[in-house]
Amino acid sequence: MNASGPCLRHLFAGCVLLIGGLAAHAEEPAEYRLKAAVLYNFARYTEWPPGTGPTLTLCILGQDPFGSALDAMRGKLVGTRELLPRRVHDGDSLLRCQIVFIAQSAADSLPGVIARLRSNPILTVADTPGAGRQGVVLNMITIQGKVRFEANLGAARTARLQLGSNLLQLATQVIQ
């Protein structure tokens, strides 16, 4: 058996369960229901430094593409931490987040957001072409209808985050 086989099953088993729970929210595009599940798994396979607190606040910067699929994640556990989704409209609120998804509508502000969050233990995620090279820790891309992602290890190190090896095995590209 391929060594990545069990990792794939464990990583995306959570996606299947979460997607099942999100199925009732059919008004969102299927792509973003799936991306919400992938975002949840990113949190599951990321380690924050000690003292992060009992919750993980997942903030969406820009126009929210997830809709109620994100709300369905409220209260789900990531390890022992409760996930709390929030929508934010300005960069000042981002420092209170542990995960920041930079929506495509906010892509123009990406360099400023990355600069503002640098060195803070915040998992930055986007789904914008080139965002991984611009300093986002994880950048989702859609290839032939499947959600894949790029990982930027330098950005993760700067943020003092540890990405699980099973997560990194699934990345289409790992930027050092």
Tell me the average pLDDT across 163-174.
Answer: 95
Task: Please report the pLDDT score of residue 91 as a whole number.
Answer: 67
**How do residues 36-62 score in pLDDT, each as one tens digit?**
999 999 999 999 999 888 999 999 999
Percent above pLDDT 90 for the chain = 72
If one counts the domains in the chain, the total is 1
Residue 5 has pLDDT above 50, yes or no: no
Nearest residue to 61 (alpha-carbon basis) of 93, 29, 20: 93
pLDDT of residue 101 exceeding 60, the answer is: yes
CATH number at residue 21: 3.40.50
pLDDT of 9 over the 70 cut: no
Q: Quick count: other Cβ atoms within 10 Å of Cβ 73?
A: 21
Q: In sequence order, which residues have a C-beta less than 8 Å from that of residue 155 and are 6 or more positions away?
A: 114, 124, 135, 136, 137, 175
For the chain, the average pLDDT equals 85
- The domain in which residue 68 lies consists of 4-175
Using the CB atoms, write b or e for 30-46: b if 16+ within 10 Å: eebbbbbbbbbbbbbbb
What's the pLDDT band for 27 if we cut at 50, 70, 90? very low
